[in-house]
Every structure is written in structure tokens, then in C-alpha cells.
């Protein structure tokens, strides 16, 4: 049985703006699942619907349901959802700028009952991110973007979640750093047995580390499958990986095919 399943949800902002129109996905225990799609497709909204952060933005799940470990969670408050084991790493890092690195990590473990282990887990986070250890007393706002992203992931690790929702961890980072972050995401999945739902713009990397992928367009899933299948799918190749034939750069002459070939767009 899957750890998380989103069944046919509809999300409305401010009572009028319909963002998700029958969105469904399944996240099996222990896997990495990635959710891809263009800007405005509703990826972040999907994550926020799961983590309960939608309510703080006047958003509402009006139809369908979300179940986590067999229990319906779409009516619960964000803090209950965090307590039940879902933790969202928000887009744009959102570290607490005026707190030190260590304090940020402590806040990450806010909902934990076993306060005695916090110290040990801070060391665990430092073993994943040695660079944070060097800066443990620094005010987080002055760190580089890459370090802030590491801190954001470290903060999530502190909560010991069963399911980690990651919203564009590669945003605004240099390619080498992106690679490093993705390797760490893979390690977290293997070593901490954390299930991961990964939203990304960098489709290539995301499909390479994930087991299963969903592709969203305007509020619902248009395509899904094992990542090996998706990587070989000609449409995915063209629209998400930027290749027309394997290994070949796309010529501007072929651009006119765009409308005709993107057939999952109605």
C-alpha cells in the first residue's frame, strides 16, 4: 500500500481560483517520486495541499481526499500533519534568517517528543553537511544560497519525517552544487529510509534519482510512469529534457512541431 495517496483533489484559492482540477498521485513507502511540470501547473499547490500550508494562504481542498498511512489528512492543521510525519522543504529555502544554524536545526525538531536526541541528530545533520558544522554559530541569513539549501534540508531531517516534500531544491544553485544536493537527497532516501516527493524544474536530474514520475499540466496529471520509461518517452525528451533525438540538439527549424506534438496538452 502506498504511504501517501492524493485522490482526485480540487483546490480553490480565495473561493474562486481553481488551481487543481482532479489531481491524483501515489507515493509508495521508501521511494523517491518526482512531480514535474511547467510553471503554474500546480506542483507547489499540490505539495501545500498535502502539508496543510494551503490554509494559511486562503486555499482550500474542496473535493477529493488525501490519505497518509491510511488516514485522511486533508482537513488537519499543518502542525498535526507535521506531527504525523510529513515535512515540507519549502521553495526558496525559507530558512530563519535571524537565527543561527544550530537554532534553525532546533526549530526543525520542534514537534519531536524525544527532546533528548536533538543533540545527536544535529550531529547527524552535520555529518550529511559538513559545511554547516563549520558555520554552526553563524546567523543563517548571511550564508550562501547553497548553504541555505543545505540548512533547509538539514532542518527537515531534524523532524525525522516519514515523508519529505521537497519543492525545487535546485532553485538558483550552481550546477555542481545541484548535483551535490541531489546526491544527498538520494542518500537521505537510502540511509534514513525517508520517502521523498520531489518537485523539480530540473527534469533531467530529478528523473535520474527518482523511481517514479508524474508530469502535471494545468492542475492535473497528464502522464506518469517509471522514470526509465519517462526518460525514454519522446514527448518527455522533447519538452522536458530538450532533446529531439537522443543526444541531438534541437534545431529551431523544428520548433513549429511544438503545438502538434505536445499531445497531452489539450
Partner 1 sequence: MDFLLQLLISGIVVGSIYALVALGFVLIYKATGVINFAQGEFLTVGAYVCLALVAQLQFPFWLAFLFTLVVAVLMGMLIERVALRPMIGEPIISIIMLTIGLSSVLKGGVMMIWGPNNRAYPQIFSQVPIHVGPVVISQIYLWSVGFAALFLLIFTLFFKFSSAGIAMRATADDQQAALSMGISVKKVFGMAWCIAALVSAVGGILVGNINGVNISLGFFGLKVFPAVILGGLDSIPGAIIGGLIIGMLEAIAAGYIDPLVGGGMKEVIPFMVLVVILMVKPYGFFGTEEIEKV
Task: Kindly list the residues in this chain that would bind partner 1 in the complex (CB under 8 A).
Answer: 51, 53, 56-57, 77-79, 81-83, 87-88, 90, 94-99, 103-104, 106-108, 110-111, 115, 139, 141-142, 144-145, 155, 159
CA of residue 140 relative to chain centroid, distance? 22
Q: Residue 87 or 239: which CB sits closer to partner 1?
A: 87
The Cα–Cα gap between 132 and 130 comes to 5
Q: Residue 195 CB, nearest distance to partner 1 (Å)?
A: 17
Q: Residue 38 or 107: which CB sits closer to partner 1?
A: 107
Q: Residue 42 or 52: which CB sits closer to partner 1?
A: 52
Q: Residue 138 CB, nearest distance to partner 1 (Å)?
A: 12
Q: Residue 209 CB, nearest distance to partner 1 (Å)?
A: 23
Q: Residue 107 or 171: which CB sits closer to partner 1?
A: 107
The enclosing H or E element of 87 equals strand 86-89
For 162, counting Cβ atoms within 10 Å of its Cβ (0-12 exposed, 13-18 middle, 19+ buried), the class is middle
Residue 254, Cβ neighbours under 10 Å: how many? 11
Give how far Cα 99 sits from Cα of 50, 87, 103, Å: 27, 20, 6
The residues, ordered by sequence, that sit 6+ positions from 25 with a Cβ below 8 Å of its Cβ are 5, 6, 33, 35, 46, 214, 221, 224
Q: Residue 57 CB, nearest distance to partner 1 (Å)?
A: 8
Q: Residue 79 or 183: which CB sits closer to partner 1?
A: 79
Q: Residue 135 CB, nearest distance to partner 1 (Å)?
A: 14
Strands 32-37 and 2-13: unpaired
The enclosing H or E element of 220 equals strand 220-226
Q: Residue 196 or 203: which CB sits closer to partner 1?
A: 196
Structural contact between residues 42 and 36, judged by C-beta atoms closer than 8 angstroms: no
Q: Residue 9 CB, nearest distance to partner 1 (Å)?
A: 19
Amino acid at each position: 500500500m502506498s504511504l501517501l495517496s492524493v485522490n482526485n483533489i480540487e483546490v480553490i484559492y480565495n473561493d474562486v481560483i481553481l488551481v487543481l482540477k482532479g489531481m491524483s498521485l501515489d507515493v509508495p513507502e521508501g521511494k523517491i517520486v518526482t512531480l514535474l511540470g511547467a510553471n503554474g501547473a500546480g506542483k507547489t499547490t499540490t505539495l501545500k495541499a498535502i502539508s496543510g500550508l494551503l490554509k494559511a494562504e486562503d486555499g482550500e481542498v474542496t473535493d477529493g481526499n488525501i490519505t497518509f498511512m491510511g488516514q485522511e489528512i486533508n482537513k488537519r492543521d499543518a502542525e498535526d500533519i507535521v506531527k504525523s510525519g510529513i515535512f515540507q522543504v519549502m521553495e526558496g529555502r525559507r530558512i530563519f534568517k535571524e537565527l543561527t544554524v544550530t537554532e534553525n536545526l532546533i526549530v526543525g525538531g520542534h514537534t519531536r517528543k524525544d527532546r533528548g536526541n536533538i543533540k545527536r541528530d544535529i550531529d547527524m545533520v552535520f555529518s550529511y553537511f559538513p559545511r554547516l558544522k563549520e558555520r554552526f554559530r553563524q546567523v543563517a541569513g548571511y550564508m550562501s544560497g547553497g548553504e541555505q539549501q543545505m540548512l533547509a534540508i538539514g532542518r527537515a531531517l531534524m523532524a525525522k519525517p516519514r515523508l519529505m516534500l521537497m519543492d525545487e531544491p535546485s532553485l538558483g544553485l550552481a550546477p555542481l552544487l545541484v548535483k551535490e544536493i541531489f546526491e544527498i537527497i538520494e542518500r537521505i532516501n537510502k540511509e534514513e529510509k525517508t520517502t521523498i516527493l520531489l518537485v523539480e524544474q530540473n527534469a533531467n536530474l530529478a528523473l535520474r534519482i527518482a523511481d517514479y514520475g508524474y508530469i502535471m499540466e494545468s492542475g492535473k496529471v497528464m502522464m506518469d510512469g517509471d522514470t526509465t520509461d519517462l526518460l525514454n518517452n519522446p514527448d518527455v525528451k522533447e519538452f522536458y529534457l530538450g532533446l529531439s533525438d537522443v543526444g541531438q540538439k534541437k534545431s529551431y527549424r523544428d520548433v513549429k512541431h511544438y503545438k502538434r506534438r505536445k499531445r497531452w496538452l489539450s
